[in-house]
Amino acid sequence: QVQLQESGPGLVKPSETLSLTCSVSGGSISSSSYYWGWIRQSPGKGLEWIGNVYYSGHTYYSPSLQSRLTISVDTSRNQFSLKLSSVTATDTAVYYCARKGSPCSGGVCYDAFEVWGQGTMVTVSS
């Protein structure tokens, strides 16, 4: 059974770069069936999608974050990573990594985040 685990600093200074890694176990990140994504949740707020990456390195990002965002994949380590530059206090959140699958119903396949990591809290503060 696939499991995801986020890792990285819990405290980042304003204007610096937030860097997180998601380690995948129990399955291969190189599967052609999945994208791998990042989602965050600010304290007391809803979920915000950040971006996704495919094992080939293909990415797509939230339009509101794409100017500061890089998501990459390391298939040799079965990991994918997030880098968010020029952070401010508004980037304080729990960051989740997740596997995006395409379960099918009635012959049509629909994207959904099927497996999630436990999340890691990142605080932006000096």
Q: Which is nearer to other proteins, 63 or 76 (CB)?
A: 63
Please, which residues have CB within 8 angstroms of residue 86's CB and are 6 or more apart in sequence?
A: 15, 17, 68
Token duo for residue 40: 């965050």
Q: Which of residues 1-20 bind other proteins (CB under 8 A)?
A: none
Q: Which residue has the tokens 């999945």?
A: 34
Does 33 engage in binding with other proteins (CB under 8 A)? no
Q: Taking CB under 8 A as the rule, does residue 42 contact other proteins?
A: no
**Which value, to the nearest 10 degrees, does the dihedral of the CA atoms of residues 45, 50, 53, 59 take?**
160
Positions 105 through 124 that interact with other proteins (CB under 8 A)? 105-106, 108, 110-114, 116-119
Residues making contact with other proteins (CB under 8 A):
45-49, 60, 62-63, 96, 103, 105-106, 108, 110-114, 116-119
